[in-house]
Amino acid sequence: MMNLLTTYAQRWTAIMAMLGVVFFFSCNDEDLSKPDTSRDDIQVVDVTTHDGRPFQLPESQHTKGRYTAGPGGGVMMQAFYWDVPAGGTWWNTVKGKVTSWGNAGIDAIWLPPASKAQNGPYSMGYDPTDYYDFGNYNQNGTVETRFGSKTELQSLINKAHTENLQVYADIVLNHNSGGQSEYNQYTNSYTWTDFTGVASGKFTRSQHDFHPNWVDNNDEGVFGGFPDLCHEVPYVQDWLWGRSDAVAKYYKNTMGFDGWRFDYVKGFAPWVVNTWNGAVGGFSVGELWDSDVNYLNWWANEANSSVFDFAAYYRMNDAFDGNNLNRLNDDMMWKRNPYKAVTFVTNHDTDEIWNKMLAYAYILTHEGYPCIFYQDYESWLDKNKLNNLIWIHNQKATGTTSILYTDSDEYIARRNGYGGNPGLVVYINNSNSWKERWVPTNWSNTQIKDFTGHSGWYPTTQGDKWVKIQCPPNSYSVWSPNI
């Protein structure tokens, strides 16, 4: 288990209208001890979020009832972290939260690998043994998985569906673990490749189904020294997605999963994910741990899948922790192909960004499909502020993106709106003092406000659509018509 944990810890539409960067005039970029209230077109109300009192989501932004899609789309929740409590309680823990998550604007949850793995009651699931054992067979020292029983998992999935949330399964297809030793004719040695005794009796495997074998010596990559599954073998393909009770179809049709997060896709060719998706459909995202945007975009197109935007992840780390917001001008997957980019601030494997609220303000106002990390939401950050950003994402973050201004401390971008939705302007300030800027909007003679509540200004845009906005220190503001 520790070897697996250590290994994981070490692992790793269209170009936006950046030509629309504007020349700023009459910009007051002095350090401000308090907001400038001298302009006639700005109304000022008391700002209650700077005096230490808890942030309160504006009443008009509270959502009620089950999740319903907003004009900006939804937000994914990674519904676990590394080493969640063992003892078979996790499925019930998540089940108890899906109603509040749906009310907050979460549209999908990503669960950890759900089937029985080598380390039984202690495993996080990334060392899979039996793809059909969801905590209903006594093998690997346990009946339940670390997370609970099959019945509890199905109850969680059903509950999520009643709240109009989709459920994404974490699928580990590169490697297996927990097999018995057998003499391997391809290596002339003993290997742990005998899975003929799996308790479910389904997708039994042997040396012929792993690299090296009669088809090929290797594929794109191996992980952790585990037996490396060979997807070129017709028998393996049949059991993964071909037959009526294949893994993909069982997960979807029997267990009720709606989509897929594919683990360590560097370990096998993208046609595997493409074929899986073609067989069962549903949303999918691949964990291609690489900051090369060309590579990410190539894989997403070849796999017909979304991909985690590691390019954005590392650029945000450079920007917010490295105190250089100019890095947000760099290329990212969401800029190349926003419909196939899943943006994130933290996950179960990597947690490098410390200035997380600025990072969440970035991904929840920009294009791509944002993913929130369980511990950030439930334990580490201000849930009310995250809920506010989720609301802004779902209700306001529409249309293409124009970057309006960047320097080492400031970043301003505009979402240009779509289908009658006016979009927004987001202002991120990584300095220790208030900042103000004149910016071009898409709104003429229109009163706007900061929907985060961080600023008390209610400015009116000029006839030429320009307006002066502000942002508090080490924070963000999000502006849109006051309607």
Q: Between helices 270-280 and 293-303, what is the axis angle to 10°?
A: 40
Q: Is 263 a catalytic residue?
A: yes
- Written in H, E and C, the secondary structure of 338-366 is HHHEEEECCCCCCCCCCCHHHHHHHHCCC
In the set 209, 263, 410, 450, the catalytic residue is: 263
Instruction: Kindly list the distances between the CA atom of residue 449 and the CA atoms of 36, 454, 455, 457, in Å, as whole numbers in the listed order.
Output: 15, 10, 8, 6
In DSSP notation, 237-257 reads HIIIIISTT-HHHIIIIII--
Residue given tokens 């993106």 in the structure block: 401
* Number of helical H runs and strand E runs in the chain: 13, 21
Question: Residue 253's CB: how many other CB atoms inside 10 A?
Answer: 13
- Reading the block at residue 269, the tokens are 């060719």
d(CA 23, CA 330): 19
State phi, psi for 444 to the nearest 5 degrees.
-105, 130
Q: Tell me if 430 is assigned to a ligand binding site.
A: no
Give me the catalytic one of 287, 367, 376, 410: 287
DSSP state of 329: G
Active site residue 349: no
Q: Cite the active site residues.
A: 263, 287
**Binding site as annotated, residues:** 174
**Binding site as annotated, residues for Ca(2+):** 174
